[in-house]
Amino acid sequence: MTRTPCDICTYSGPVYLDALFDAKFLYALQYGAGAKAMLPLLSNMGITTPTGYSTVSLPDIWIVTPMPKEGLSQAQLDAVDLAHGDEPAGDSGKTIKDVIKETYRPKDEKEHEYFLRRFLAS
């Protein structure tokens, strides 16, 4: 509801960086729309990213990572200590780095490092 940009990773594959949920969904939540009114919105939630508009179904959302409203500068990304990626991610036995690889599905190691930096800097 604060219009905070976020990274949205889906089970079906797409990852949306710096996404904003459509205001229709947020207003429905804010003003107490009933279950009947919310169901279509949850099945077809609009999101806006820097590259365009898309829709996603709530059951397809895997993780939502809030990002700073002002974005992340290259200096902030460069300042990230990647060693934190080796820390445990909850009780799963996986590291943060493992979870980022699993959820963001990077195409190569360079992209994996970029997503890890985004997550840690957020």
In a domain, 1, yes or no: no
* Distance set, CA 29 to CA 3, 12, 15, 37, 48 (Å): 13, 25, 24, 10, 18
Residues 76 and 99 in one domain: yes
User: Of residues 24 and 12, which shows the higher confidence score?
Assistant: 12
List pLDDT tens digits, range 75-112.
999 999 999 999 999 998 999 999 999 999 999 999 99
Residues 77 and 54 in one domain: no
Q: Are 19 and 7 in contact (CB under 8 A)?
A: yes
Expressed as residue numbers, the domain containing 104 is 72-121
pLDDT the model gives residue 39:
77
Residues 21 and 59 in one domain: yes
- The per-residue pLDDT of the chain, averaged, comes to 91
The single residue listed with the structure tokens 């904003």 is 20
Residues 15 and 41 in one domain: yes
What's the structural domain count of the chain? Answer: 2
List pLDDT tens digits, range 49-67.
999 999 999 899 999 999 9
